[in-house]
Amino acid sequence: MTNQIEQRLSALGFKLPAPAAAVANYIPFVIQDNIVIISGQLPVQDHEVVYKGKVGIDLTIEQGQDAARLCGLNIITQLKAACNGDLSRVQKCLRLGGFVNCSSDFTNQPKVINGVSDLIVEIFGTDIGRHARAAVGVNSLPLGAAVEIEAMFRIE
């Protein structure tokens, strides 16, 4: 299945980035029993936050979705590291928690977070990829990021 997942990523034109190191006093993921909890991932590429600012003001909803998708690629990178490179160990995406940097009157957080939800289902398929989710608007995010996503997966 790892090969299938890698093939889907490639066919969709996605390349997994190198795992990002923690920037504060935390670790990128924790494994407890068969659960992997992945710390919040920012839209980082080549060690730089690509999407900065407030969605709905500085960025469009579509750019917010792109930011969420990039967060998703970083989540998959951390998940792959947690699975010692073997994504076939992934049994289920349990939950995604999405935070959108936006103004207090912005109400399209679910549309923005669909960027990562759609990616996870597209990569892992409906049975494994469908998940519970939160989409929350916030006043600011670390490093000025537009979106931050955390995740929880069950592995074997």
> Can you give the pLDDT at residue 6?
86
Closest CA to 17 of 105, 94, 79, 63: 79
Domains located in the chain, CATH noted: 2-155 (3.30.1330.40)
Q: Among positive and negative, which fits the CA dihedral 63, 68, 71, 72?
A: negative
Statement: residue 97 has pLDDT above 60: yes
Statement: residue 2 has pLDDT above 90: no
> What does the pLDDT average to over 35-39?
98
Cα separation values, 94 from 17, 41, 110, 132, 133, Å? 23, 16, 17, 6, 8
> What does the pLDDT average to over 144-156?
98
* Helical H segments across the chain, by residue range: 2-11, 61-82, 109-129
The distance of Cα 24 from the centroid of its chain, to the nearest Å, equals 19
65-82 pLDDT, tens digit each: 999 999 999 999 999 999
3-state DSSP call for residue 81?
A: helix
> Can you give the pLDDT at residue 53?
98
Statement: residue 133 has pLDDT above 60: yes
DSSP label of 22: P
